[in-house]
Chain A
Amino acid sequence: MTAHVALAVAIAALSTGQGKQLYGQYCISCHGANGEGVAQARTIGGAPQRIQEQQSARGPSLRGVGALAADFYLRTGYMPLHRIGDQPRRSRVLFSDLEIRDLVAYIASLGSGPAIPRPQPQLGNLAEGLHLFTDHCAGCHQVVAQGGVVTGALPPALDDATDVQIAEAVRIGPYVMPKFSETAITNTQLNSIVRYVDWIKHPDNRGGWAIGDIGPVPEGLVTWFLAAALLVALCVVVGKRLKRA
């Protein structure tokens, strides 16, 4: 028993060591040594997955963000940022699963912060999920989670978001997204939201070809470029064309 604990502690220590190394390689220029953040912007060069030019770097402190935030930003490919100051976007994940675990462990060790959440969508209620999603999320992410627009940023579509990532994002509020504490959205409610987002990845498209599930814009395109085009072509078949004078 004690041997197990000792082993676990040893592995943890080892992996934080590995994580610290990765941190030094990829994160330190913006988030500072030991994750205290960089307030005064400083000039840095290119790095893997970063745009290959000089740019000024600064970034928030990572102390106390916990495993939750680190896990989210690394597994979505939000970090490292391609260009500093841009909205983080879902992109290729730079690290292996093991590396992510090490890095997450290291960042978690910087201060006491929340652990990676374990949402249980099967315990959630779909109807409550839609209701909560409409109240809290649809304004930005669109009611079918197809993503949308806010002035200055692009709330993403949630097609690729995993259960854990949804839960993490709700708690962090990445980029300009609001963050929701456990009093604002309880973990039970969060289960329902995750259940809804999972469900809406394959919405009930009983009407046929879904054309994006975003309503009138693609419908207008179909009206003009499919229906109207077809009917005009038919007119040309049925009617006569002008012969050249």
Chain B
Amino acid sequence: MRKYLTAAIVLLLGRGHARRTPRVLPTAPPNPGAEAAAVALLFLAALLGVGFIVVYAVSSLPDQTQLLGAALGLSLLSIAGALIIVGKKLVVTEELVEPYPPDEHPGEQELVVELVEESGERITRRRLFKLGVGAAGGTLGLAALTPALSFGPLFQTKYFRGTPWRKGRRLVDEGSRPYRASDIEENDFYTAFPEGSTLQSREDLGAPIVLVRLPKSRLRLPPELAGYAADGIVAYSKICTHAGCAISMYRAPLFQPDEPRPALVCPCHYSTFDPADGGSVLFGPAGRRLPMLPLAIDAKGYLRAKGTFDDQVGPTWWGTHIWRPTP
């Protein structure tokens, strides 16, 4: 009741002042409750803002990130609350109707067409002129794009074939210690790099291999890979042929009869490869088997590469089967 009374008084007083222009918005009575809430929220936001600064300044606080986030987030939400109250309760919300803009402007369209056509009237050999414009624009556009070729070798794909492995290179572990054949035990798997590789060159897809020893009786290497194993030890590229992740899982059953067979598995899309069978695909999306590295054991018992991989390393591309990997 009091609300309406004050509204009426405000309205009456308002009448006293002569207005030069008519009102734009319809009038509505004030809403003290909503107003109080909005003001309270704004001051709360201010308080939380101060809180943010204080929390920032005090470095020793535990959970500082949480307090900072809570202060800032709640401050912003308080402002949001105040604004939504303003929008819903404190400003006049009129629903107006007006026409949509016209779908088309046929007259204007016609004018633009005329303008363009008339502007070219003095040119007599139009086709030649257009050809000239096209040639100039086209070649200049091409010229502008040419420097982008410096980004990288667009036409040279030989880099995809390169591997650091070559005949006689020893296999070393992450600490650069050469592997002896006797280090490699059944049911374990080992990551190896070519001897002499640097931290940087070990990041190349061709560098890391995974070593596994299987009972010689269980090896079923395809004929073209005969001689790739050394004393039951087989070596494959550690990079999945599907999407290039590191094959960091070795499924090594403890009790063969009841458990899944040995397999190298990639954790990205679970491509599963058979180390006994030249790295053939047992499951998953990989489209080809793992490249295999031929191994030999030297007189001192060290493992050495007998050459490079039988197939290109890394994810498959159009030239994967055209070229052999190059050392």
Contacts and interface: CB of A to CB of B under 8 A. Distances in A.
A39 B257 CA distance: 9
Given A139-B249, A150-B251, 15 more contacts: A85-B258, A139-B267, A151-B251, A151-B260, A152-B263, A153-B251, A172-B254, A173-B187, A175-B259, A176-B260, A178-B187, A181-B185, A181-B188, A184-B183, A208-B69
Contacts of B190: 184
A135 interface: yes
Given A177-B252, A207-B65, A151 B270 contact: yes
A180 B188 contact: yes
A208 B183 CA distance: 44
Q: Label chain A's interface by main secondary structure.
A: loop
In order of increasing CB-CB distance, the 3 nearest A-B pairs are A139-B248, A152-B260, A178-B252
Contacts of B246: 139
Contact of A176 (B65, B185, B188, B254): B254
B65 A208 contact: yes
B87 interface: yes
Interface in A70-127: 84-85
A219 B33 CA distance: 40
A107 B111 CA distance: 100
A151 B272 contact: yes
B283 A151 contact: yes
A179 B260 contact: no
Interface string A150-175: 11110000000000000000001111
Contacts of B189: 178
B317 interface: no
Interface string B250-284: 11111101111001010100101000000000111
B266 to A, nearest CB: 9
Given A151-B284, A176-B254, A177-B252, A135 B191 contact: yes
A145 B283 CA distance: 25
Interface in B170-209: 174, 183, 185, 187-191
Contacts of A184: 183, 185, 188, 190
Interface string B275-298: 000000011100000000000000
B66 interface: yes
A243 B258 CA distance: 64
B270 A208 contact: no
5 contacts: A151-B270, A184-B185, A206-B65, A237-B84, A238-B87
Given A84-B258, A184-B188, A173 B252 contact: yes
Interface of B is mostly: mixed
B82 to A, nearest CB: 13
B254 A60 contact: yes
Nearest to A134: B248
Interface of A: 39, 41, 58-60, 84-85, 135, 138-140, 148-153, 172-181, 183-184, 206-208, 237-238
Chain B interface bracket (under 10, 10 to 19, 20 to 34, 35 or more): 35 or more
B252 A151 contact: no
A31 to B, nearest CB: 11
Contacts of A181: 185, 188
Contacts of A152: 251, 259-260, 263
Nearest to B83: A238
B255 to A, nearest CB: 4
B184 to A, nearest CB: 9
B248 A138 contact: yes
Nearest to B271: A151
Contact of B263 (A138, A151, A179): A151
B178 to A, nearest CB: 13
A21 B102 CA distance: 95
Nearest to B262: A176
A183 B251 CA distance: 20
A208 B62 CA distance: 11
Given A175-B259, A178-B188, A208 B267 contact: no
B174 to A, nearest CB: 7
Contact of B250 (A85, A178, A183): A178
B267 A148 contact: yes
A207 to B, nearest CB: 6
A172 B255 CA distance: 12
Contacts of B263: 151-152
Given A180-B188, A181-B188, A206-B65, A135 B174 contact: yes
A150 B260 CA distance: 11
B2 to A, nearest CB: 29
